[in-house]
Homo-oligomer: A and B are copies of this chain.
Amino acid sequence: MSVASPAARPVLISGSWKDAAVESTFQATDPNRNAKLDPVFPVSGWSDCDAALDAAVEAAKELRRLPTARIATFLETYADKIDAAKDSLVEAAFAETGLARSPRLADVELPRTSNQLRAAAAACRSGSWSMPTIDTAAGIRSCFVPLGPVCVFGPNNFPFAFGSVSGGDFAAAIAAGNPVIGKANSSHPETTRLFAELAAEAIAETGLPAATVQLIYRTSHADGERLVSDPRVGATGYTGSRSAGLKLKAAADKAGKPIYLELSSVNPVVITPGSLAERGEAIVNDFVTSVLMGAGQFCTNPGMVMLVAGEETDRFIAAVKDRFASSAAGTLLSPAVASSLGKSVETLVGFGASLLTGGGDAETDRCAMANTLMSVDGKTFLTNPEGFQTEAFGNASLMVVADDLTQLCEAIGHLEGNLTGCIYSANDGSEESDVDAIAFELEPKVGRLLNDKMPTGVAVSAAMNHGGPYPATGHPGFTAVGIPGSLVRFGKLTSFDNVRPSRLPVWLRDAAPTEGTYRLIDGKWRTGDV
């Protein structure tokens, strides 16, 4: 049924760029011009997935036999190549995503990406991520071991830092010892292809199995569901839309395959009257900067602000409205994002939100929409809390204005799971009991609770949780960002019971694996020999 098309870019299978089993083709759009880009990419048939899976299984076996330090060296070599190829990566991503070359792509996202790979390499070397646990009295030792081939579906909004073959899920899966099958995001296939070329070079230089990193661009939905549920797969990492993610989740769940999802999130920001009275202008500035940065296309974009009615709140909303109206609309990632944003705004207005500013197209040839601010009172919100949590991905936000603290807390109690939740409150200590009530409702709904700070920065820290309760993600116990936490998702917990010393994984032997490896030895976390 499928034929090789010389016009379509090849896929990377088992270390070779091969003609894809082309079912159809697609092109990315340059959102700066709202026009299609030249390169043609294949929609792969199942035979490409099948070949990648077979090769990944063999690579997984080879990786299990290699010293972990070799995998770390690959990650470091790859990171260096990414830094060296900065200009071409930035140009490709700018053309495909419209994100600013600088500072965003060149000075923020690219260094974050290569440094994340280096941090993953360090975690890989130390092995502490695998939580080696030793009970000498019982003769039992355990750690996480590689789970098997990992499929990574990257999102549209971070072509580098969350890219299928360069980003957080990729780094975590490889550092945990698994090969990756990357499924490029269709909005930036050329950028992803450039990364895969660098990865393939680094693989060749460091002697890793050729199929450690493979790349396909797109499949039918049915083949995507088949891929994540295939017996040969260890797990899947997915970042993207809720609707597509939940279809993959259903398929993977049915097959008993772990799938780690990062889906939608409105990231509520609660701003108290006391904080506005104290430092309203600064908060306006914090908020507008955060919500309009990158045209609001962040997983942690503050899409909902929760306030209590009053003069300070009126002033805050008026000031934000002015800033929205007077700020240039950012470029959206694709026509699909623009169309989806427009529909979400329509939906919210249809439910009864007031349109304060924006709501229509921006006057530009770029993919863009006017900065959009909406509001709804608490009582109306409570008539349809699920509806008012419709994510408007992009440069839009909804102000929810409650009558009082009680109604505010009731509204928070109706929130779905979110990646983040913020509380801005008075610095003078006068609102502590209010904040306690707010935080008590908000904390169970979010993966990360912030104070006096907008949620858009996601530090690569051991203490970072980029996760949260469903439907923000598929499981409340895992983070997609932060090392070593993100690696654990791609490990299989394994006990070695009475296993002869010479047969133990290096992490569980009496001798300390590395100087810096922390192990839980007879109830104490420590470095050193058993």
Contacts and interface: CB of A to CB of B under 8 A. Distances in A.
Q: Taking each of A141, A255, A524, which has the highest tally of chain B beta carbons within 10 Å of its own beta carbon?
A: A524
> What copy number does this chain have within its complex?
2
B503 A463 contact: no
Q: How large is the interface on A (under 10, 10 to 19, 20 to 34, 35 or more residues)?
A: 35 or more
A127 interface: no
B250 A503 contact: no
A364 interface: no
Interface string A484-500: 01001101111111111
Contacts of A502: 432
Contacts of A296: none
B147 A476 contact: yes
A385 interface: no
A451 B503 contact: yes
Contact of A525 (B135, B138, B518): B518
Contact of A448 (B148, B448, B465, B494): B494
B497 A453 contact: yes
Contact of A141 (B255, B463, B479, B499): B463
A470 B138 CA distance: 26
Given A447-B493, A462-B135, A523-B462, A64 B256 contact: no
Interface string A115-157: 0000000000000000001110010111011011000000000
A21 to B, nearest CB: 27
Given A134-B463, A135-B463, A463-B134, A496 B449 contact: yes
A513 B200 CA distance: 48
Given A450-B497, A475-B258, A497-B453, A138 B440 contact: no
A135 to B, nearest CB: 4
Contacts of A461: 135, 138, 140
Contact of A459 (B138, B148, B443): B138
Interface in A383-415: none
A367 to B, nearest CB: 32
A520 interface: yes
A452 B501 CA distance: 13
A493 B518 CA distance: 21
27 contacts: A61-B440, A133-B463, A135-B464, A138-B459, A138-B461, A138-B464, A140-B459, A142-B464, A142-B465, A148-B444, A253-B254, A256-B417, A256-B474, A258-B476, A258-B477, A436-B503, A447-B495, A448-B494, A448-B496, A449-B499, A450-B498, A450-B499, A451-B497, A451-B500, A462-B520, A476-B492, A477-B489
Which 10 pairs, one residue from A and one from B, show the smallest C-beta to C-beta distance? Answer: A256-B470, A525-B525, A465-B495, A253-B253, A448-B495, A140-B463, A135-B463, A476-B492, A142-B463, A138-B461
